[in-house]
């Protein structure tokens, strides 16, 4: 059995960027240039964490996780840890979470909706990482 990575930990982040860069071609990513910071509220241990993803011309160029202030991003998505965990396990769609108020978006909503398919592709890749939540 493969190693379990602690969700949002350093080994999970490293695995995430490796898989996103390997499995998602610029064409699959609609050659998009964007960035987003997911803000995770109510994490285990009572902390707040972030997941930052940056794409340039459809290639994932940066994935960062941590606590404190996230890198500046085009989109800020805020929600509970468990909501993001369900999305990462492919149990809940990001669009549905946004439309039902489980996630809050700061940024251009029209552009975010256009990027929903790209986000879903990324989440499908992340769901394949053996993860300890």
pTM of this structure: 0.92
Instruction: Give the pLDDT score at 1.
Output: 55
pLDDT tens digit sequence for 77-118:
999 999 999 998 889 988 899 889 999 999 988 888 888 888
Per-residue pLDDT, averaged over 5-13, amounts to 96
CA distance 2 to 10: 16
Q: Are strands 49-56 and 103-106 parallel, antiparallel or unpaired?
A: unpaired
Q: How far is CA 54 from the centre of its chain?
A: 10
Calculate the average pLDDT of the chain: 93
Read off φ and ψ for residue 57, nearest 5 degrees: 50, 35
Ordered domains of the chain (ranges, CATH): 5-127 (3.30.1050.10)
Question: What are 69's two structure tokens?
Answer: 């202030």
Read off φ and ψ for residue 70, nearest 5 degrees: -75, 165
């Amino acid at each position: 059995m493969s190693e379990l990575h602690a969700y949002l930990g350093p080994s999970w982040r490293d695995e995430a960027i490796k898989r996103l860069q390997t499995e998602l071609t610029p064409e699959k990513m609609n050659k998009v240039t964007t960035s987003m910071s997911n803000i995770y509220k109510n994490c285990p241990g009572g902390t707040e964490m972030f997941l930052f993803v940056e794409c340039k011309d459809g290639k994932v160029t940066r994935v960062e996780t941590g606590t404190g202030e996230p890198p500046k991003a085009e989109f800020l998505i805020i929600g509970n840890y468990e909501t993001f965990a369900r999305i990462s396990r492919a149990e809940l769609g990001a669009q549905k979470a946004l439309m039902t108020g489980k996630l809050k978006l700061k940024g251009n909503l029209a552009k975010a909706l256009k990027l929903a398919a790209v986000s879903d592709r990324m989440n499908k890749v992340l769901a394949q990482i053996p993860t300890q939540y």
